[in-house]
Amino acid sequence: MKLADYRTLGHSGLRVSPLCLGTMTFGMDWGWGADVPASRAILDRYLEAGGNFIDTANIYTKGHSETILGDHFAERGGRDRVVLATKFCGNLHPGDPNGGGAGRKAIQQQLEQSLRRLRTDCIDLYWMHFDDPYTPIDETLRALDDLVRAGKIRYLGVSDTPAWKVAGGQVEAGLRGWSPLVALQIEYSLIERTVEHDLLPMARAHGLGVTPWSPLRGGLLSGKYGRNRRPEGEGRHVPGVSKSLNERNYAILDAAEAVATELGTGMAQVALAWVLARPGVASPILGARTLEQLDANLRALDLDLPPELMARLDAASEPAPIFPHAFLVNAKSVMHGGSAIDGVPAAPWPLAPQTDQERW
């Protein structure tokens, strides 16, 4: 697979690369990340390899990430050849309650500010960054639809929001003739698989292409960590990652490392290839602070995990079922009368009537 093996994003005609370049690391304004020359070098390398999908947000590095992207395309051209995605909801204006969130006033203001920093007149994909519990979803979607009709946004997506709310909004948009959501951005990795309970099935049912963030779980799956291995120093991710170094996750790291050794590759490539192969996933988002990190991550496109190794990784990382999914495991026996439906067998329900005489 190559970066230029484009995929349509959800139920849309938008073509995107199978790996998206995340730019939360563009700029040193948060005290870590890549400086401007390094950021531009990473962007150039991604584009030269055929990548066309770039993800940022209004709040990344206090707005500097958007500015770096805007300056790059304004100076070097090529803006129309990329799918440029940014997000709203984050507040860059302390003391202003409408500086962030998903209300109409907030969306309009945040969009104009992003357009200015990105030095463009239209956002290709505009994400609701996270759930705003204080704003009705219909207000958000109607405001976004108006901006699509005004030519300032092309496609809509939603990130880090409960499945029930996304599904409800998508249905309402369809009923009212508003612009639909086409993509869902969620955390997803070998270590974070709880989204498989509801968010991923919801996305497939409602035509949303999934773009997982943190597919390496903040570096935990990069190969730097193991039972007897940790990177030196206290970088940005070390304290947070350290909280995830428990027995369950060590077992996942062991399995990923064993698969990587068997295939003669790195753990990061295995972890990314696993996410790429999951049903419904359109384009995982890569974060890189150096060219070396980007190049290593892009090598995941060359890796095809055999079914038996995928099964091994699945077994090591399988999330514990939650209600109602755990309860419904046995429901097919109650419903199907011992028949196989769509190739899935079901054991007979032992409490069902066994003869006509037992049936009331």
So what's the pLDDT on residue 146? Answer: 98
**Is the predicted pLDDT of residue 236 greater than 60, yes or no?**
no
54-71 average pLDDT score: 98
How confident is the prediction for the chain on average, in pLDDT? 94
So what's the pLDDT on residue 230? Answer: 75
Question: Which residues are annotated as catalytic?
Answer: 60
CB atoms within 10 A of CB 59: 21
232-261 average pLDDT score: 78
Residues 184, 195 contacting (CB under 8 angstroms)? no
Q: Which residues contact 198 (CB under 8 A, 6 or more apart)?
A: 163, 164
For 14-49, write each residue's pLDDT tens digit: 999 999 999 999 999 999 999 999 999 999 999 999
CA angle 161, 163, 168 (to 5 degrees): 100
**Is the predicted pLDDT of residue 235 greater than 60, yes or no?**
no
Q: Is 195 exposed, middle or buried (0-12, 13-18, 19+ CB in 10 A)?
A: buried
**Is the predicted pLDDT of residue 351 greater than 60, yes or no?**
yes
CA distance 155 to 263: 39
Task: Give the CA distances from residue 192 to residues 118, 188, 221, 252, 314, in Å, rounded to whole numbers and listed in that order.
Answer: 32, 5, 11, 11, 12
Of residues 238 and 55, more confidence is placed in 55
91-107 average pLDDT score: 97
User: Superfamily for 7-324?
Assistant: NADP-dependent oxidoreductase domain (3.20.20.100)
So what's the pLDDT on residue 225? Answer: 84
So what's the pLDDT on residue 240? Answer: 59
So what's the pLDDT on residue 152? Answer: 98
So what's the pLDDT on residue 22? Answer: 98
In terms of phi and psi (left: phi > 0; alpha: psi -120 to 50; beta: otherwise), the region of 214 is left
Q: How confident is the model at residue 237 (pLDDT cuts 50, 70, 90)?
A: very low
User: Percentage of the chain surpassing pLDDT 70?
Assistant: 97
**Which is nearest to 311 in space by CA: 253, 259, 346?**
259
194-207 average pLDDT score: 97
For 287-321, write each residue's pLDDT tens digit: 989 999 999 999 999 999 999 999 999 999 999 99
Residues 135, 101 contacting (CB under 8 angstroms)? yes
So what's the pLDDT on residue 359? Answer: 82
Of residues 280 and 240, more confidence is placed in 280
Here the tokens at position 150 are 């005004």
For 115-168, write each residue's pLDDT tens digit: 999 999 999 999 999 999 999 999 999 999 999 999 999 999 999 999 999 999
So what's the pLDDT on residue 332? Answer: 87
Locate CATH 3.20.20.100 in the chain. 7-324
Strand, helix or coil for residue 121: coil
Among 35-49, 319-333, 336-350, the range of highest mean pLDDT: 35-49
